[in-house]
Amino acid sequence: MLVIVAKLVARRLLAAVPILLVVSALLFCVLRLLPVDPAAMSLPTTATIAEIEAKRREMGLDRPLPEQYLIWLSDALHGNFGRSIQFGREAGSLVAATLPATIQLAGAAMVLAAIFGLGGGLLLFHLRGTWFEAVTDIVSILLLSIPEFLWGLILLFVFGVALHALPFTGAVSPNLPQPHVTGFLLIDALLVGRLDVFASAFRHLILPALALGLAFSPAIMRVLRSSLFDVYHEDYIQQARLRGLSERQILLGHALKNAALPTLTLAGVQFGILFSGTLLVEVIYSYPGMGNLMVDAVRNADLPLIEAIGLTYCVAVLLINTVVDSLYVVLNPKLRVR
Amino acid sequence: MGKHTMSLKLKRRAFLQIATAASLAAPFVRPAAAAGDTATIGWPNDVPSWDPNQRFTPDAQPIFKAVYDQPLDQDPQLKLIPHLIKNWTLAPDATSMAVELRDDVTFHNGDKMTTEDFRYTFLERIRSGVKLDTANSWKRVDDIVIESPSKATMKFSAPDPTAPQWMAFLGSYIVPKKYIESGGLDNFLKKPVGTGPYRLAEYELNSRIVLERDDSYWGPKAKVARVTIEIIKDPSARVAAIQSGQADFTLNVPVREVQRFQSEGGFAAELNPITRVILLQVRADLNFADQNVRLAAHHAIDKAALSKAFYGGAAVPLSVVATPGSPGYLPDFSFKYDPELARQLLAKSGHGPSNPVKIGLAATNGQFPSDYDMARAIVQMWQKVGIAADLQIIEYAKYFELNRASKLPEATLYSWDNATGDPEIFSGYLLNPKMPFSAWKDEAVGGKVLKLFNVANYDARIAGYRDVERFAVEQGATIPLLQSVLTVVRKKNLQYTKYGNGWVLPQTLQWS
C-alpha cells in the first residue's frame, strides 16, 4: 500500500508543476492588468510624476508583460518573490514568518470542523425518522448559511465582549512573551517549557478556530448523513443485521467506514476553502497569520506580496489535495487494486 | 433530606460555574499593582518597518515617535518647537540651514547622538542607495557640513523653505550611524535603536508592539512604564477590545460607536478635529471644463449637513484646503452653501434638474470613515440642482494610476493628511500639477503653486498660499468639504495629550 501511496504522491507532485505555472501566470497577469500603479505606491507622497515614471522603468513595469512574467518566474524559482512595497522586506520572508500561524489556525479549525461535522452527522443520522429530524435539518441548513466571518463576529461578541470568557486579539496575552523556535506558537511554547504561554496561545486560538470550524462543519455533517443513508441501503448492512450484529457494531464497523469516503473527499475540498477562509477571520481576531498579511498587501497594492501569498495558498491547496487523495487510497481498497 | 440534596447540588453547580468562569477569565485580570505601569492600545495598523526613514506612513508616526526622536517637534497646537535640534536658522534664500543639536542625548544602546548621526540620516544613508522615502523629501540636500559634534549646516541644491517643517514630519527621525554600520541594516530592523522615550521590547509582525520606558531618556520621562500596542485592524474588533477591557485605549472607530460610548460610564469617547481635510479633487476638463458647473457643484453641497450626518457635527465645514488654526487658513473667507445659486450657474450653461449635466464621482469605500456614504449624499445633493453624478467605487491604490492615465472622473472624494499644518503640504501638494495626487492640471492655478515652492520668506510664502487657496476655490479648482475627525475611545482614567494633527503618543499616556 505504501508503494501505491508513494506513487500517487509522486504523480500528484508532478502534476502540481504545470498547475502552479498556470496559476502563477494567471496571478501575475491579473495583477498587472489591474488599474493600480505599484510604482506610485512604492514612492512617497512627495514624488513627482517624472520620478514615478523613472520608478516604473526601474521596476520593469514598462516592459512587455510576458517578459515581466519570465523575469518574475525566474526570480521566484530562486526563492526571490521581490521586496514588499509596503514593508520593504523580502516578500518570501514575510510569508514564511506568518505561514505557521495560519497553518496552526487552519489545522485547529479543521479538527473542530471534523469533530462537529462527524458528531453532527451521526446525530442527524441517529435522529432520522423522529420528529427531531425536521428540526435538526433546519438547524443544519441554518448553520450552513452562516459564513466564517459572521461566526467570527458572533463568537467575539458573545464570548469576548458579553461573557469576557475568552481573548480575541492576537495570538497570546500582552504580558507574555512569544517564543520563536519553529514558528508554531503552541509547539514553541512547549519546546521552551512555557506552559503559561501554551495555555494563553491555546485560549487565543479557540475563538478563531471555532469560527472557522463551525462555518465548515455543517457541510461535512450533511454529507456524512447522506452517505450513511446511502450505505444503509446496501445489501451488506442487511446481511450484517442478519448475522446478529448490533446497530452500533454495524454503524462503527461497516457503515461509517464506507460513508467516510465521500465525506473525506468533501473535507479535503473544504480544507482548501477553509485555508483561504482564514483571511477574514485572522483580520477579525487580529491573528498574526498570512491572511492578515494578505489584507495589508491588497490594501496597499503590494503586488510582490500578493503574488507570494497567492502562490503559497495555491501550493497549500495542492498539498492538502494530495494528502486527501492519499488517505482515500488508504481507506478505499478498490483504488489500491487499480 | 430532599431539600438538603438540592441545596448541595445547587452549591456544587454554582461552584463549578464560578470555577469555570474564573479559570477562563483569569488571563484578563490585570494585577492591580501593575495597573498604573501598563497600558494596552488597540491600534489600526502595524508599522511598515522599524526603519523610520523607510516609508511615509502617517499612522505609524506616533509609534516611531515613541522609539525615535525627530530633530524638531510640534507642540499640541502644532507650533514647531526645538527637540533634538536646540536652535535652527534657515538662510534668507532657504538654500542652507544651520542647526545646533542637544549634546546630552544617547541612543538606547548607550551611543551618544551627534552631528555624525544627523549627517548619516539626512545625507549619507540616502546616498548609499538604501530604499528610503526620505530620499525624496531630502533630495535637495547637497551636503551637511559638520562643524562640531553638536553643530552642522545643511546645504541645499535649491531653496527648501519647508525644511524646518520637514524636520518634524514624515520619516525624519535620527538613526544611529555607528550601530547600523557596524551591525548591518537587518540587525537594526530586528533590534531597532533610537533615542526616544521608549525602547522596543518586543515586536510581532501584524500582531503587537511592546514598548518599555527608557529611564535614561533625555526629555520628560513617559508616565506609563510598559505600553502594549495590539494591532487590531478591524474597527468592530477594536470596539470590542475596549468594551471587553482587552484594550485601555483605541482610535479610528466608527462615529456611531463613539456616540454610544459617550453615554456609557467608565469610558471617554471623543471626536477630535484634526489636520486632515476631506475634499473633492476635481479635473479641469471633461464636463468640469465649464467653471459654472464646477462652482455649481460646490455651492450645491451642504457641508454642515454632511458633518452632522456622518461625524456627529464635529467635522468643521471648510471653504479652503486648510484646517482652522493652520497658517494657510482663511477665517474670513466663506464659500456658501446656496443651491439656488448653483441652479442659476447651471442654467447659464444650459443645465437644470430637467436637463442635468452628467459627471462622474469616484469615491473609496472604507478608506476613511463614512467616505462612501458621504459620496452618496453628495450625489443626492447634486441631483437636486441639476447635476447627475455617476458614483464609482475605487480603491485608494487605484487613484494614482487613474490620475496618471487621465482616467479619473470629474470629481473624486479624497482625504488628505498633513500633520505639519503647513499650506505647502495642503494646497501646495494637492494643486501642484507635477505631483501624482493633483487631478487639477490647469496652469492658472498650478503655475501660482509652483512659484510658491521656491519662496524662501516664510511670511511671503504663507501669504502667497492664502491667495492661492482662495483663488483655487473661486476658480472651482478644488472643492474642500470638511476637516476630518479622529475618533478616540479610552478608559476614563487614562489621560493623554491631544494633538491638533491627531497624534496619540504613548509617552503622553497617564493613569489618573
The 10s digit of each residue's pLDDT in B292-311 is 999 999 999 999 999 999 99
User: In the structure, what pLDDT confidence band is assigned to residue B30 with cuts at 50, 70 and 90?
Assistant: very low
- The residue with cell 507532485 is A13
Average pLDDT over residues A330-336: 73
pLDDT at B9 over 60: no
pLDDT, greater one: A84 or A338:
A84
pLDDT at B375 over 80: yes
Check residue B424 and give its pLDDT: 92
Residues of chain A contacting residue B23, judged by C-beta atoms under 8 Å apart: none
Nearest to B219 by CA among B194, B201, B200, B255: B194
Q: Which segment of A1-10, A124-133, A206-215, B99-108 scores lowest on mean pLDDT?
A: A1-10
Rounded distance between C-alpha atoms, residue B92 and residue B80, angstroms: 18
Distance of CA B301 to the CA centre of its chain: 25
**Residues in B 339-398 with any Cβ partner in A closer than 8 A:** 395-398
- Give the closest-approach CA distance of B209 to chain A in angstroms: 9
pLDDT at A8: 80
CB-CB: which of B206, B207, B434 is closest to A48?
B434
Residue B18: its pLDDT value, please? 42
Instruction: Give the pairing type, strands B267-282 and B411-417.
Output: antiparallel
- Closest in A177, A283, A287 to B202, CB measured: A177
Q: What is the pLDDT of residue A45?
A: 66
Q: Are A91 and A82 in contact (CB under 8 A)?
A: yes
State the pLDDT at residue A301. Answer: 80
- Indicate the residue of B189, B237, B245 with minimum beta-carbon distance to A286: B237
Beta-carbon separation of B171 and A44 below 8 A: yes
Is A167 in Cβ contact with B246 (below 8 Å)?
yes
Q: Where residue B20 falls among pLDDT bands split at 50, 70, 90?
A: very low
In chain B, the N- to C-terminal Cα span, in Å, equals 54
Q: Is residue A208 scored above 90 in pLDDT?
A: yes
Residue B293 in contact with residue B387, Cβ under 8 Å? yes
What pLDDT, on the 0 to 100 scale, is given for residue B312? 87
Of A86, A170, A285, the CB nearest to B208: A170
pLDDT confidence bin for A190, thresholds 50/70/90: very high
Please determine, for residue B22, whether its predicted confidence score (pLDDT) is greater than 50: no
Residue A85 has pLDDT above 90, yes or no: no
pLDDT for position B2: 39
| Average pLDDT over every residue of A105-112 | 94
Q: Do B404 and A153 touch (CB under 8 A)?
A: no
Digit-coded pLDDT (tens) for B212-242: 999 999 999 999 999 999 999 888 899 999 9
Question: What pLDDT sits at residue B5?
Answer: 40
Whether B40 contacts B246, CB under 8 Å: yes
CA atoms within 13 A on the CB side of A175: 15
Q: What is the pLDDT of residues A238-248, one digit of tens each?
A: 888 888 888 88
Residue B229's closest chain A neighbor by CA? A174
Q: Kindly determine whether residue A87 and residue B48, on different chains, have CB atoms separated by under 8 Å.
A: yes
**Is pLDDT of A282 > 80?**
yes
Q: Cβ A43–B133 below 8 Å, yes or no?
A: yes
For residues B3-29, average pLDDT? 43
Which pLDDT does position A289 carry in this prediction? 93
Three-point CA angle B332, B277, B397, nearest 5° = 155
Q: What pLDDT is attached to residue B35?
A: 54
Structural domains of chain A, ranges and CATH numbers in brackets: 98-294 (1.10.3720.10)
pLDDT at B63 > cutoff 50: yes
Closest CA relative to residue A117, chosen from A227, A225, A236: A225
A15-67 pLDDT tens trace: 888 888 998 999 888 888 777 777 877 777 667 778 888 888 888 888 888 88
**Which positions ≥6 away from B16 have C-beta within 8 Å?**
none
Tell which A residues from 256 to 285 touch B, by Cβ distance under 8 Å: 283-285
87-146 of A, contacting B, C-beta below 8 A: 87-89, 94, 97-98
Mean pLDDT for A156-177 is: 90
pLDDT of residue B77: 93
Q: Identify the residue among B141, B186, B234, B453 best suited for mutation to test binding to A, counting A beta carbons within 10 A and taking the highest.
A: B234
Q: Which residues of A touch B60 (CB under 8 A)?
A: none
- Beta strands B249-251 and B478-491 are antiparallel
- Does pLDDT of B23 surpass 60? no
Provide the 3-class DSSP secondary structure of residue B278. Answer: strand
Q: What is the mean pLDDT of chain B?
A: 90
Q: Give the Cβ contact number of residue A281 at 10 Å.
A: 30
Residue B234 grid coordinates: 478591524
Q: Looking at residue B68, what is its pLDDT?
A: 98
3-state SS of B179-202?
A: HHHHHCHHHHHHCCCCCCCEEEEE
Q: What is the pLDDT of residues B231-273, one digit of tens each?
A: 998 888 999 999 999 999 999 998 889 999 998 889 999 999 9
pLDDT at B21 over 50: no
pLDDT of residue A12: 81
Asked if the Cβ–Cβ distance from B136 to A44 is below 8 Å, we say: yes
SS3 annotation, B50-96 = CCCCCCCCHHHHHHHHHHCCCCEEECCCCCEEECCEEEEEECCCCCE
In this complex, do A296 and B206 lie within 8 Å of one another by their Cβ atoms? yes
Give the confidence band of B350 by pLDDT, cuts at 50, 70, 90.
very high
With a cut of 60, say whether residue B3 has pLDDT above it: no
- CA distance linking residue B400 with residue B179, whole number of Å: 37
pLDDT at A337 (0 to 100) = 60
User: Which of A51, A195, A204, A286 would best serve as a mutation to test chain B binding (most B beta carbons within 10 A)?
Assistant: A286
* pLDDT of the residue at A274: 84
**Helix residue spans in chain A (DSSP H):** 2-33, 38-41, 49-58, 65-77, 91-126, 132-144, 148-155, 185-191, 195-231, 235-242, 247-250, 256-284, 290-299, 303-331, 333-337
**Gap between the Cα atoms of B130 and A135, Å rounded:** 65
Average pLDDT value for residue range A73-85: 86
Which residues fall within 8 angstroms of residue B304, CB to CB, at 6 or more apart? B313, B317, B337
Please give the grid coordinates belonging to residue B158: 535649491
Mean of pLDDT values over A157-186: 90
How much is the pLDDT for A336? Answer: 67
For chain B, positions 11-50, list CB contacts with chain A under 8 A.
Answer: 21, 24-25, 27-28, 38, 40, 42, 46, 48-49
Question: A311-325, B368-382, B468-482, B495-509: lowest mean pLDDT where?
Answer: A311-325
Please state which of the ranges A265-279, B178-192, B308-322 shows the lowest mean pLDDT.
A265-279
Grid coordinates 474642500 are at which residue? B480
Lowest-confidence segment of A238-247, B37-46, B85-94, B187-196 by average pLDDT: A238-247
pLDDT in tens, B96-128: 999 999 999 999 999 999 999 999 999 999 999
pLDDT band at B25 (very low <50, low <70, confident <90, very high): very low
- Could you please report the per-residue DSSP string of B246-260? S-SEEES--HHHHHH
pLDDT at position B369 is 81
Which chain A residues are within 8 Å of B437, Cβ to Cβ?
45
DSSP B218: S
Whether B264 and chain A come into contact, CB under 8 Å, resolves to no
B279 backbone dihedrals φ, ψ, rounded to 5°: -145, 170
Q: How far apart are CA A314 and CA B60, in angstroms?
A: 32
Provide the pLDDT confidence category of residue A4 given band limits of 50, 70 and 90: confident
